[in-house]
Copies of this chain bind each other. A is one copy, B any other.
Amino acid sequence: MQPASFTARELAERFALEISGDGAVAVSGVATLARAQAQHLSFLANPKYRAQLAASSAGIVIARANDVKGHPGTVLVALDPYISYAKIARLFETAPIHPPGIHPSVDIAADAQIEPGASIAAFVSIGARSRIAAGARIGPGCVIGEDCVIGANCELTANVTLVRRVRLGARVLIHPGAVLGADGFGLAQERVDGVEPHWIKVPQLGGVVVGDDCEIGANTTIDRGALDDTVLGHDVRLDNLVQIAHNVRVGDHTAIAGCVGIAGSTSIGRYCMIAGAAGISGHLNICDHVVITAMSMVLQSITVPGEYSSGIPTTDGRTWRKNVARFKQLDTLARRVNAIEQGNLHD
């Protein structure tokens, strides 16, 4: 298969960019500035890589006007080169084609509804009363339980499980191994005379609601709500191995990186960015436009937009051991400083 090829002039027209240099130059793929050859499109988004531009063999570069002054090659001038790159790069994606239709191996409940134009791959199970909209793609090995709704043009890549009462908007992309709609972790300890205290499972009667244009990473888990639903707004982006507990709410356009855990009933605002492996306790409110840095431990609600952090970065092991020993005595140390100050004042 011949790769598609595009001239700078074609790209400029299609993506509303200006050309600097020779518009007849054509590219058939993308690459980083460092690795690009003449047949490659590249981009310069972060000015700190400007030095790489001069050395690059890229046929075409997408860049801001300011960053390419004096550059002799062909440039597509963009206000936001990374956005323009993201859009153009799709032309070079060799995404598999999934023709509509239902693979003969599937196990679909009699009262499930599959709209014409949906694509259902091999070894898929679909439970009672679930509905799959046109343009949706259900990849191999996915299990969709009862009372689920898969909106138009959703993609469940492979081996995804929606347990029960999961309702997806349009264009939701779910990566392999993700589990939506499993029981929330609801337990009550029963204490009755003559029996050891033991856990009683609290029924999880809610569902999971996911808005349009969300993306859910590989092996991420989103439990269904206890009474109300667990809710993701529109354009929410979750990376891999994220845990979203029951009754959490995540606002529109919020992005959450890998290994983050959010405990039950916490509400996250719009346009938040939560970096990798951060943890957020239950029953909190995080307002809009909050940035939480990696591995932070959030134990209280946040009401003011801005950046929040915690955790101690690594040092060499010997320094770490000494500082840890001191931390265990930190309250005592502070009291000693108090005493010194008072002694000084009394002098």
Binding site for B on A (CB under 8 A): 30-32, 35, 80, 82-83, 85-87, 89-90, 92-94, 96, 103, 105, 107, 121-123, 125, 127-128, 139-141, 143, 145-147, 157-159, 161, 163-164, 173, 175-177, 179, 182-183, 185-188, 190-191, 196-203, 205, 213, 215, 217-219, 221, 223, 227-228, 235, 237, 239-241, 243, 245, 252-253, 255, 257-259, 261, 263, 271, 276-277, 279, 281, 291-300, 302, 306-317, 319-331, 333-334, 336-337, 340-341, 343-344
What B residues does A179 contact at CB under 8 A?
159, 175-177, 218-219, 240
Copies of this chain per assembly: 3
Q: How far is the CA of A323 from the CA of B340 in the complex (A)?
A: 19
Contact A314 B306 (CB under 8 A): no
Known: A86-B200, A235-B198. A308 touches B317 (CB 8 A): yes
For the complex formed, measure the closest distance between the CB of A194 and the CB atoms of chain B, giving whole angstroms.
15
Given A123-B141, A176-B161, A340-B340, are A241 and B253 also a contact pair (CB < 8 Å)? no
Distance in angstroms from A248 CB to nearest chain B CB is 11
Q: Which residues of B contact A326 (CB under 8 A)?
A: 330-331, 333-334
Question: Contacting A263 at CB < 8 Å: which of B257, B297, B308?
Answer: B257
User: Are B323 and A330 touching (Cβ within 8 A)?
Assistant: yes
Q: Which of B125, B139, B199, B333 contacts A334 (CB 8 A)?
A: B333
* Given contact pairs A176-B161, A219-B177, A141 touches B125 in the complex (Cβ within 8 A): yes
In the assembled complex, 12 residue pairs joining A and B whose CB atoms fall closer than 8 Å, in A order, are A85-B202, A143-B159, A176-B182, A185-B239, A185-B257, A197-B271, A201-B215, A218-B221, A218-B223, A263-B294, A307-B316, A311-B312
